Every structure is written in C-alpha cells, then in structure tokens.
Amino acid sequence: MAEPALDALVDALRRLPGVGVKSAQRMAWHLLQHDRTGARRLADALGDALQRMRHCARCNTFTESELCSTCSDPRRDARLLAVVETPADQAALERSGGYRGLYFVLMGRLSPLDGIGVADVGVERLLARACDGVVEEVILATGFSAEGEVTAQAIRQALEARGLKVTRLARGVPAGSELEYVDLSTIAYALVDRR
C-alpha cells in the first residue's frame, strides 16, 4: 500500500523513544480514525514547543523565558546548587519536598561508550554557573547508574579544582537505578545524608 503521507507519519512516530513499528502504526491509525482533534493538537503543540522552548540561561532546563520559574524564585536558597541529568530528575527532587536550593540541568550525562563527553553535557556552563560567588555547595544528583556515577565523578573533579564544596546524594538511593523512579522518602533521606 503506497500511501506516502501515512508512511511518513508512521516513520515520524517511530522516531519517538520506545515506539516500534507496530505501536507507530496503531498510533497513526488511532489519530486518523478516532482522534483527529488530538492529531491537530499534537502537531500544533510540537510547532509551538519548537518555537517557544529554549534553555534557561542559568540552569539550562527548558523554559519559555530568559530564566525558568525556579531560577527566578527569590525564595530559593541560592547557596545550594543541585546538578541533575534531566528535567524529570529535577521534578523528582522537587516532589521529595526536601530541597529548597537551585538546580543545574545537564540535559544528558557522560557516556564514553557512546562518545558523549564532557563538552556534550554542558559541563563548561555548569562551571561558569557554579563559580558565581554565591553558590557555596554543589550537590551532585546525577543518577546512580554507571554513567551517572562517571558524570558525577567528572564534575566533582572539575569543581573541586576550583575550590568549591561538592557533595553527592547519599547512597540511600538504590545503586543502579534511575533517580526519576525512586520513591520520595528515599530521595528525602538521600538529601539529608548527602556527603
């Protein structure tokens, strides 16, 4: 069946993480047959997000403004800077209710095997951010997977070379797991026990 518009839609949906060819076909079928409103909304939301979302000038997360809402919040403790891999990890820390400092979002992690090095995860921008004279402590909150540990280690060395105090979330977080999926009380413990 040569239907280029349908094939192009299935191909585009397949590029989404975790979506295989059967899922993509089902999604395309569902959108065209049962949810054309949803399809239109998704197309508009994609265009909108591409046009409006950029990176916060301070913490590197996604935002529509120059600064994200967390960085603009005067009630946050600007002496603490937590380094996380993704906005989802930042959200997990926020939900734990145990942290009132600021963030730096790497938007990735080191992965030497995949050729993702220090330059690819914004470490230079993190160094500039952490050396603003206000930050007193950088809390490494990257995941406890092998790659998260490598990332934390590389950042620790760079920051300590500049004389900053660096801590790591306590090992209350189960080794090998992703921060995003850890239960909230474990995250709260890990914040208290940071070393």
Which range touches a second copy (CB under 8 A), out of 1-9, 74-82, 153-161, 167-175?
A: 1-9
Least CB distance to a second copy at residue 103 (A): 11
Least CB distance to a second copy at residue 130 (A): 21
From residue 82, give the alpha-carbon distance in Å to each of 13, 59, 92, 93, 193: 34, 10, 12, 9, 14
- Residue 68 or 126 having the CB closest to a second copy: 68
Main-chain dihedrals φ then ψ at residue 29, nearest 5 degrees:
-65, -45
DSSP 8-state assignment for residue 116: B
Q: In which element (H, E) is residue 30 found?
A: helix 21-34
Contact yes or no for 117/128 (Cβ under 8 A): no
- Residue 108 or 194 having the CB closest to a second copy: 108
- List Cβ neighbours of 132 (8 Å cut-off, separation of 6 or more): none
Considering the rule CB under 8 A, would residue 96 count as an interface residue with a second copy? no
Considering the rule CB under 8 A, would residue 183 count as an interface residue with a second copy? no
Q: d(Cα 133, Cα 76) in Å, to the nearest integer? A: 16
Taking CB under 8 A as the criterion, the residue among 86, 96, 142, 151 binding a second copy is: 86
**Residue numbers 18-77 binding a second copy by CB under 8 A:** 18, 22-23, 25-33, 35-36, 38-53, 61-64, 68-70
- Using CA atoms in the order 127, 133, 134, 139, what is the torsion angle rounded to 10 degrees? 30
**Residue numbers 152-181 binding a second copy by CB under 8 A:** 180
Considering the rule CB under 8 A, would residue 142 count as an interface residue with a second copy? no
| List of residues contacting a second copy (CB under 8 A) | 1-6, 8-9, 11-13, 15-18, 22-23, 25-33, 35-36, 38-53, 61-64, 68-70, 86-88, 91, 107-108, 180
